[in-house]
A and B are shown apart, each in its own frame.
Chain A
């Protein structure tokens, strides 16, 4: 063997050297012009390996080798390089040689790189061509390897059958937990034909009558080869084994073409696995925080809850957990997400074209799904971090039919605070927890039921005399039913509640207890009609009842002088009918066109204040209070919402997409702050407050490079909004009985371009996202008190033109990886006090025009290092360590700039959440 070649091999093999040197022994060998089998015998004599092969494969092949201290796998690789023989090392004791292994030769190109990690050598064989015969595994190999060939006979042989083809269908599930596996590919070797499994693990493929070799494969599963003999239509259900490297949350690359293929624009899907190695803050893995690194999704800064999607307000996002709305999915004032990272399966974020089945919010839908409980065996996952601990347990109830998942998370910050030196801190209180339970029951192949319950609660004592608490409660029930092959349906019932209260128990007689509650219940029926390959319809209806108690203050204790306040309950019914069609116009053009008719009725009982039409809405134009009886309709709003988007393939890996989307929103937060504040209250549209409306136009170009190794997308949008809620200068929002007199409704305008480059495979993966976006609002009126900034467009509180994120992960080996995040954002606009003035014998502060200044820019670098436990299938627990440093640069990012009066002087202060690097170690394990 020439030196050149040896070097080449060394280079090629470097991957396997890294990954295998831990376990694979080295040997020294000298053989001169002897049969190849001598090499195998030498290996057997020097190591514990037993090699399995058939002598006649090597008839006449002789070889000369001379190596000292060479890894066995490298040696084999070299000596087998010129043959069509592969090898596979199993358990440090067996080496299987295989001939003409057809398993891998039709794998997608990108699959190699993944497989390389598993066993480099197999990917090196390049001389395998499509063959009609099955791989020549010997029996001995077959019994030990997952790739054994089994023959299945499908359908009844019928001599009179003149059909030349038959349909094979079935469902593929995971052998360990009984869950259906989606996005597996099923390839017919000799025909270059294939299909993939759907969401429910089912597949269907038409095959010629006769014998075929099927390969079923997917990342994270042992590839299976099987022989089917098709006599007639029939079913074949398969169970797949996790491959040794599979963790539970594997990213399925089966939807590899989604980037270019999907007909709708502005859709983002986040799988939990993708964010597993991202640097953590205080040890919390957080799917919502990960969303912020993607283009078009921003928040007001660190520690700010709520999202601003494409220039929209934080109240314009519909956050759904298993179909139920979560009003405030955060803990600790937005620093942690309130979603259990282990129970969350995936998040789909619609920031562009929102499918017609969703409605009620202008900007986006965050559709979060809890994992389906394991129905075959007990399993669990837990994490221990510096601030919280999290656990999720899954157990079958009826094996293979029903399972239960329960998860919980709690903080021990109480304990940390108490152990601190500082008295103030020691006496403060901060606690939170969240719990989730999901039950899934598959009644038969046509019916299954899923039920989810969720509760989260935060309680803080800010000063020694007040306790502030908020909670989310959600319950949902979903029944999936399959009528027949073409028709499916779902019935969904949900109930959500958000609540906060402040208890003030001070030394004076002003003690009080304040409470705010909102509650909504929804019924939804949704149906799919798979008309044909060309048309797929979805239709349904929904009805949602809102009940809001905007505020109540009760005096606390017998001595309290606080006046009792109670703002009457608001009620409303929001109903909608929707239909959409996924229409494949041609191979290149696909349209997703939908329309949603929503109708909102503000209902009594309640009172409404009537104002004169031709004046600013204030006490002077107030005419009367009108009372409405229970269920009397106060006011109705509604109209059609169009959701149209389309995709056109310019080539197989390049597409353009365009969409138009209009949305209505009938519920609004009252929040003069930049961020979601925990004292935000929601207000329903009524006689005085009109629904918000938005029109969004987007256009994007999507490109996959080298399979889907790289994904590139470039999207632009333009959005107009009407009736955005804002507030008069000096408005006071909480517990204001005439809040409509403080509200202004104006026009919004937002536009932007979003660039996302994503590398999905290889040792280095991650994404780079950049957004240039602007967001403006105009509050104009003929009356000066209702005019802000001269009635001109001005930047919204969340207008951050430049937003750049880089998220990267580098895998050194299968077990060790490092990640880095870098984020840069323009500082957000703020209204600053400019100075003092004297008026009426007192000093007052005066402010600038709204949002005419900006706080300093935001940037942050986070690093983390991850260590995976060994990947043995049989090990009791699989462990994972994450060591992170958040804000490595120690940048003091202003979260907010504010002003206090101290000694009669106004002082500007900035608060930041994490002004120093925050190191964290988290230990995760699953069993």
Chain B
């Protein structure tokens, strides 16, 4: 479609204008969104209830005070309690059992009932291997993370992946000295250099969680064999690779219906390109209103087997002869004046935490007027980018 609009735009300039969707879409009731994935891990499972929101809004409304239950064939009821707004944790740790039907049941605070179709735990197939490899991907040089999996029973077939990457960050301009102000008064221009020693701002660990839908399937193949499937790729110039990097890959074996749901969701959210002609429409999952069949309910209740694997590596393991990737910030040093036209400059930078001390300014001049050389905070304080707590799984 896009091609078309662009063309029309180009040829008949000014013929595209904003439309008031309110005029077309009447005040539409916010819709319940259910995110529930129950796995074969023994843990307190999470169910997240939110509501849809209008385009102009940015905050996801949370659905609180709902009564959330998962029921199984044997009449067992697993109750979920709200641990924080919108997030419901199972009362006790449990693991999904094979060959059992699970159903979700929700009663929201306004008394409406929602339910899901029955879902069963999928085949349990462990990840064989997660491999980190230097590759050229779409012309970019970098690190690729590949998964190999094999299900000899030939019954897994539909795989979804999530990953969590953790990486060591070392602030390049960390100094044991810091700048402080003595008061919070913005007209107090006095700044002092103090020694703080190891302040836990030098080494941190950043973490990212995958936020795209990563899917693959082996249907049509002779064997249920996921081979060299690229889960994630990082350009070699990305600072997160600089020191040490770890990725945890989680593999969910999905039912065909769940796989189809995630795949369609992914298709619908793909940005338009010249090829795309995507059929829009309501994506119906396996959750529904028990009271009103016309009420739209979004989301999915998935019961999936999960398996995970973590690997570590250092940049130099793959790029031994090459310079380290540039830091996330160019970290240019500067020396703000103490005051300018009666306004405190340096002191207020210090108060707001936007600068970090580098050294005393040996020779103040017009370009570097202030008494201290400083850098942007992320260059001297890694806690801006990650946590200074070593993750429990971390191996150096």
Seen from chain A, the residues whose Cβ lies within 8 Å of a Cβ on chain B are 303, 332-333, 422, 424-425, 428, 430, 460, 462-463, 466, 468, 502, 504, 508-510, 514, 559, 561, 609, 616, 618-622, 624-625, 670-673, 677-679, 726-735, 742, 784-785, 787-790, 831-842, 844-850, 853-856, 892, 894-898, 901, 904-915
Contact = CB atoms under 8 A, between A and B. Distances in A.
Given A839-B299, A897-B24, A845 B268 contact: yes
5 contacts: A332-B11, A428-B11, A672-B280, A832-B21, A837-B31
B256 A619 contact: yes
A837 B220 contact: no
Contacts of A422: 13
Interface stretch (B211-219, B229-237, B369-377): B211-219
Given A844-B265, A845-B269, A913-B15, A831 B280 contact: yes
A839 B10 contact: no
Contacts of A915: 12, 14-15, 17
Nearest to B269: A844
Contact of B35 (A460, A727, A839, A907): A839
Contacts of A734: 275-277
B55 A732 contact: no
A895 to B, nearest CB: 7
Contacts of A784: 257, 284, 286
A846 B283 contact: yes
Contacts of B209: 841
Contacts of A896: 1, 4-5
B262 to A, nearest CB: 8
B282 A846 contact: yes
A910 B16 contact: yes
A853 B282 contact: no
Interface string B239-266: 0000000000000000011011001110
A794 to B, nearest CB: 10
Interface of B: 1, 3-21, 24-25, 28, 30-31, 33, 35, 50-58, 60, 138-139, 157-158, 209, 211-213, 217, 219-220, 256-257, 259-260, 263-265, 267-269, 271, 274-284, 286, 293-294, 296, 298-299
A790 B281 CA distance: 12
A424 B10 contact: yes
A281 to B, nearest CB: 12
A234 B364 CA distance: 121
A847 B281 contact: yes
Contact of B16 (A425, A462, A735, A911): A911
Contacts of A913: 8, 12, 15
A847 B35 contact: no
Contacts of A679: 3, 274-275, 277
Given A425-B11, A832-B25, A911-B8, 8 more contacts: A333-B8, A424-B10, A502-B274, A624-B220, A734-B275, A734-B277, A837-B50, A846-B283
A677 B2 CA distance: 11
A835 B55 contact: yes
A673 B294 CA distance: 25
Contacts of A510: 138
A428 B265 CA distance: 35
A905 B268 contact: no
A359 to B, nearest CB: 28
B8 A729 contact: no
B19 A897 contact: yes
A729 B1 contact: no
Nearest to B12: A913
B13 A855 contact: no
B281 A834 contact: no
Top 4 A-B residue pairs of the complex, sorted by shortest distance between their CB atoms: A620-B256, A730-B264, A729-B281, A730-B267
A35 B190 CA distance: 129
Contacts of B294: 790
A711 B88 CA distance: 72
A855 B24 contact: yes
Indicate the member of A609, A620, A896, A909 with the most B CB atoms within 10 Å: A620
Nearest to B23: A856
Given A620-B219, A835-B30, A835-B54, A733 B277 contact: yes
Contact of B11 (A430, A621, A850): A430
A564 to B, nearest CB: 15
A909 B267 CA distance: 21
Nearest to B274: A502
Contacts of A836: 52-55, 57
B283 A847 contact: yes
Contacts of B282: 729, 789, 846-850
Given A460-B7, A462-B3, A620-B157, A907 B15 contact: no
Contacts of B263: 730
A834 B264 contact: no
Contacts of A854: 24
Contacts of A908: 18-21, 24, 55
B114 to A, nearest CB: 15
B19 A462 contact: no
Contact of A834 (B10, B12, B25, B158): B25
Indicate the member of B3, B6, B139, B267 with the most A CB atoms within 10 Å: B3
A616 to B, nearest CB: 8
A800 B257 CA distance: 35
Nearest to A907: B18
Contact of B13 (A425, A790, A912): A425
A785 B15 CA distance: 37
Given A837-B53, A915-B15, A729 B277 contact: no
Given A846-B282, A915-B15, A672 B213 contact: no
Contact of A732 (B52, B271, B277): B277
Contacts of A430: 11
A909 B139 contact: no
B288 to A, nearest CB: 10
A895 B264 contact: no
A784 B24 CA distance: 28
A913 B298 CA distance: 36
B355 to A, nearest CB: 29
Given A620-B157, A677-B277, A909-B18, A728 B213 contact: no
A731 B279 contact: yes
B15 A835 contact: no
Contacts of B9: 911
Contacts of A735: 275
B290 to A, nearest CB: 15
Given A673-B277, A677-B277, A303 B8 contact: yes
Nearest to B17: A910
Given A618-B256, A909-B19, A837 B268 contact: no
A422 B13 CA distance: 10
Nearest to A842: B211
A620 B264 contact: no
A839 B265 contact: yes
Given A836-B55, A841-B209, A618 B18 contact: no
Contacts of B14: 915
Contacts of A856: 24
A840 B211 contact: yes
A785 B28 contact: no
A896 B4 CA distance: 10
B269 A790 contact: no
Contacts of B278: 672, 730-732
Contacts of B53: 835-837
A842 B280 CA distance: 19
A672 B279 contact: yes
Contacts of A332: 11
A856 B23 CA distance: 10
A853 B25 contact: yes
A134 B275 CA distance: 75
B15 A846 contact: no
Contacts of A788: 281
B123 to A, nearest CB: 13
Contacts of A855: 24
B86 to A, nearest CB: 10
A906 B7 contact: no
